[in-house]
Amino acid sequence: MRLVHVVAGVIRDARGRILLARRTEGRDLAGLWEFPGGKIEPGETAEHALARELREELGIEANVGGLLIDVQMPYPDKQLRLDVYEIRSYAGTPSGMEGQALAWAPPHKLADYPMPPADAPAVALLMREPA
Residues 40, 46 contacting (CB under 8 angstroms): yes
Query: Which residues are 102's β-sheet partners?
Result: 21
Annotated binding-site positions for 8-oxo-dGTP: 23, 34-37
| CATH classification at residue 111 | 3.90.79.10
pTM: 0.92
Strand-pair category, 78-91 with 102-105:
unpaired
Annotated binding-site ranges: 23, 34-37, 57
Split into its structural domains, the chain has a count of: 1
Running DSSP on this structure, what letter comes out for residue 40? P
Dist. CA 14–CA 5, nearest whole Å:
30
pLDDT tens digits, 12-25: 999 999 999 999 88
pLDDT at 26: 75
**What band does 131 get if pLDDT is binned at 50, 70 and 90?**
low
Show binding-site residues for Mg(2+): 37, 57
Report pLDDT digits (tens) over 104-124. Answer: 999 999 999 999 999 999 999
Cα–Cα nearest to 125, from 82, 91, 88: 82
Structural domain containing residue 30: 2-127
